[in-house]
Structure 1
Amino acid sequence: MKETTTEQTSHIKDVELSESLLKIAKRELREDKCTREQSLEQLRNWVLKNEDLRNVRCDDTFLLRFLRAKKFSVPMAEQTLLKYLNIRRTFPHMSTKLDFLEPRLRDLIEQGYIFAVPQRDKHGRRVVVINAKGLNPKFHTSCDQAKAHFLTYECLMEEQETQITGLTHVGDFAGVSTAHVTNWNPTEFARIFKWGEQSLPLRHKEIHLINVPSTLKWLIDFVKNRVSSKMKNRLIIYSTEKELMKGVDAACLPQEMGGTMPMREMIELWKTELLAKRDLVLSLDESALLSDRGIQRRSSYNSEKSSSGTNFVSQIESIEGSFRKLEFD
């Protein structure tokens, strides 16, 4: 028998969002009170009636993830919700059991591999810092790495303001080694990269990279060639911290990257956030997609067995083979 979570929180009122947020939502997402309420009702009814869904949350905060990511196109939000549940079903070892207190995952957070800065930038966005030095490829697997990303994004997607304003990413590649690149199975990396972009309801507004070794250029080019032109234009590489601070508010950077607050303090505050949302994130595992028959697929996205998919994976394998021969600066 199909089960769906029917407990719902009250609808979000306009007064709960600041005037500046309401303006951003209207300008960038076509969101207003009427559109929001009508779209929520349509999406909620679809979830409750869909026999392929089980125990899917129907509260406003969860459903608005998908509506806002797709600018309140209900059919597109439905597809993204199905794909979101499908990636959790297909890659459960990477996207479920996101327990912050699990030793391996907690160590990655403690080491500062990925964390959200407590301050928002001038656009009201949370800034996610990814620090290569925080990952030891001799100890942490690609699965650990992926879970750290999924955990971070699940927590941030619960924030109404972040759903509206989106995210800024700052990646520091200092200390990266060949082992970091070859930590992934090429086929799995290709699949999780492609599926993740289509399945997670996130608004990636800016991506700033620093300390990128020249030998990583192939990988950066590979990624840039597989995202939309809009995303490609949002990816900027800097050669110095001084340049980075021209693109990112200094208050949103760790002291070690030219900011003011020590990274350790930022990590401790992020751990507090993760702990506060631990039960909520773990409860997501109760949701299930019983069949992927409702997912619409374009022919070019059918599977890695198609010619385009095979080419996608073979390029990853070629890059991995090349990196095994390189020594990083």
Structure 2
Amino acid sequence: MSFTLLLDPPGPEARALAEKELRETEENVKKGIETLRKYIEEDKTIYFSTDDDFLMIFLRPCKFYPESAFELMKRVADFKVKHAVLLHNLMPEDEKNAFVEHNVVNIFKHRDHKNRRMMMVNCGKLWDPSKVSSDQIFRIFYLIHELAMYEPETQIFGSVVIMDFDGLSMKQITGMTPSFSMRLLSFIQDAMPLRLKEIHFVKQPFLFKMVWQMFKPFVREKLRNRMFFHGSKMSSFHAHIPPSHLPKNYDGELPEIDYTGADWYPIVISHEDKIKKWNTYGYVKNK
């Protein structure tokens, strides 16, 4: 698979999974779209696109319950207001240096054995907090999620995040501010219209316990059940994602990763129109 956004309609496997796990039947889709559109049109305080494809972004993670999808939209709008300092009119160009010069966030070219998108975050020695702040990492996450949610098959199959803590030191721990931790958790648990299926923590040293203690009290059960801690035991990781779908970096059968966020950056730029549009969504500003 090359560096590209996959915008094709869902294939047979995705459609079958969507019906089984997301209640995605013709009747539920029709009713969900009609009702969600009605909610948006009747609520004069909020603005989102009412195109069918756009509404599916919110209906799929909410299993086609339009009330839940509308609540998710409102939480997205709330989040954008609360973190406007970081997110207002955010464009890829604003974080070009972090994308291109620093290998902190990377997206695998291939999907896993369950067709899920995989994102890797280098939280250890490869991350220099004096050059890329935790706020910048969050902004990159946010830009990537904006594009991933437009992929119909990612809406259905979901995504997986690998947090690689190889070489973690106090430098990185002090770089992970409590405000970053809280913002990231709030985003994942409340305001991200994507199905995050698993988070894998790998190569984390003993020091990692300090980071985890910061997060732990605020992680709800649903998310906690999707978090897996492997340390240096790749066999433990392979129980979730087989070696056939992992690179050599994780004792997998695929070639070692030889690409970074720099290789993805042109794709992000080529879809700037979607990001620009997303920036207009949320609560209507009083004139």
Q: Which bracket does the TM-score occupy, shorter chain normalised?
A: 0.7 to 0.9
Q: Which residue of 1 aligns with 2:276?
A: 282
Deviation at 1:134, TM superposition (A): 4.0
Question: Partners of 1:92 and 1:270 in 2: how far apart?
Answer: 25
Paired residues of 1:241 and 1:257 also in contact (CA < 8 A): no
* Letter aligned with residue 277 of structure 1: H
Aligned with residue 114 of structure 2, among 123, 132, 150:
123
Question: Partners of 2:284 and 2:179 in 1: how far apart?
Answer: 25
Task: Name the stretch that deviates more: 179-188 or 208-217.
Answer: 179-188
Specify which structure has the bigger relative contact order, considering alpha-carbon pairs within 8 angstroms and separated by 6 or more residues: 2
Q: Look up the SS of the partner of 1:101 in the other structure.
A: helix
Residues 134 and 87 of structure 1: CA distance in aligned 2, closer, same or farther (over 3 Å)? farther
Aligned with residue 183 of structure 1, among 163, 172, 175:
175
Question: Partners of 2:60 and 2:222 in 1: how far apart?
Answer: 18
Deviation at 1:65, TM superposition (A): 1.8
Q: Which residue of 2 aligns with 1:316?
A: none
Question: Partners of 2:90 and 2:100 in 1: how far apart?
Answer: 12
Question: Partners of 2:247 and 2:99 in 1: how far apart?
Answer: 17
Q: How does 1:95-174 map to 2 (within 5 A)?
A: 95-102=87-94, 104-132=95-123, 133-174=125-166
Residues 191 and 125 of structure 1: CA distance in aligned 2, closer, same or farther (over 3 Å)? closer
Deviation at 1:58, TM superposition (A): 1.9
Paired residues of 2:155 and 2:195 also in contact (CA < 8 A): yes
Q: Tell me the matched-pair count.
A: 276
Question: Partners of 1:153 and 1:108 in 2: how far apart?
Answer: 14
* Letter aligned with residue 273 of structure 1: I
Task: Name the stretch that deviates more: 252-261 or 129-138.
Answer: 252-261
Paired residues of 2:116 and 2:157 also in contact (CA < 8 A): yes
Paired residues of 2:76 and 2:282 also in contact (CA < 8 A): no
Paired residues of 2:185 and 2:219 also in contact (CA < 8 A): no
Question: Partners of 1:150 and 1:100 in 2: how far apart?
Answer: 10
Matched, 1:231 2:223: yes
Q: Look up the SS of the partner of 2:63 in the other structure.
A: coil
Residues 179 and 170 of structure 1: CA distance in aligned 2, closer, same or farther (over 3 Å)? same
* Letter aligned with residue 213 of structure 1: P
Q: Which residue of 1 aligns with 2:24?
A: 31
Paired residues of 2:98 and 2:132 also in contact (CA < 8 A): no
Question: Partners of 1:265 and 1:16 in 2: how far apart?
Answer: 27
Deviation at 1:105, TM superposition (A): 4.2
Question: Partners of 1:284 and 1:16 in 2: how far apart?
Answer: 21
**Superposed CA RMSD:** 2.6
Q: Look up the SS of the partner of 1:264 in the other structure.
A: coil
Q: Kindly provide the CA deviation profile for residues 83-126 of structure 1, in whole angstroms up to 9, marking residues without a partner as x.
A: 10221122123334432233x44424542211221211111100
Q: Which residue of 1 aligns with 2:4?
A: none
Q: TM-score, normalised by structure 1?
A: 0.75
Q: Look up the SS of the partner of 1:121 in the other structure.
A: coil
Q: TM-score, normalised by structure 2?
A: 0.85
Deviation at 1:241, TM superposition (A): 5.9
Deviation at 1:269, TM superposition (A): 4.6
Residues 50 and 17 of structure 1: CA distance in aligned 2, closer, same or farther (over 3 Å)? same
Select the structure of larger CA radius of gyration. 1
Question: Partners of 1:60 and 1:250 in 2: how far apart?
Answer: 38
Residues 109 and 68 of structure 1: CA distance in aligned 2, closer, same or farther (over 3 Å)? farther
Structure 2: gaps of 5 or more residues:
1-6
Paired residues of 2:134 and 2:180 also in contact (CA < 8 A): no
Matched, 1:66 2:58: yes
Structure 1: gaps of 5 or more residues:
1-11, 292-329
Q: Kindly provide the CA deviation profile for residues 205-262 of structure 1, in whole angstroms up to 9, marking residues without a partner as x.
A: 1111111121222432553443333322221111336323343244543443334244
Question: Partners of 2:212 and 2:24 in 1: how far apart?
Answer: 34
Q: Which residue of 2 aligns with 1:299?
A: none
Q: Kindly provide the CA deviation profile for residues 110-152 of structure 1, in whole angstroms up to 9, marking residues without a partner as x.
A: 4221122121111110011111244311122222111011111
Matched, 1:220 2:216: no
Q: Which residue of 2 aligns with 1:271?
A: 265
